[in-house]
Amino acid sequence: MSQRYNYTIKALEGRQFIQRNFVTLPEKGFKYSNRAISLNERFSVIERGYILVPDLKNIKRDFQKNVRLISRVPVTRNEQKQQKISNFAIKTKKK
């Protein structure tokens, strides 16, 4: 599931000539919060001289780390065979 964010609308520098036509747009930031925003909506905000900025301060990030450790120490053939046998035994027990 995708993460939902709270957005604020901030003015882009150098776009004041367009922003004067859309003065109330920054007040409507709540319309874009806690939902999926289409590219059309994002670009329409940019075309009006503003940008959507997500509030990342209160977001809980739960990343799952899929890490597999590989030994940097050379392993002999007998040790490799033992590891394969033990891994196979573990896999068959799970089934």
CB burial string 15-35: b at 16+ within 10 A, e below: beeeeeebeebeeebeebeee
What pLDDT digit, counting tens, does each position of 1-55 carry? 456 788 889 999 999 999 999 999 888 888 888 888 899 999 999 999 999 988 8
User: Could you tell me the residue ranges of all domains in the chain?
Assistant: 7-54
Cα–Cα distance list, 38 to 5, 47, 68 (Å): 14, 14, 37
Summarised one tens digit per residue, pLDDT across range 42-93 is 999 999 999 998 887 776 666 666 777 777 777 777 887 887 787 777 767 6
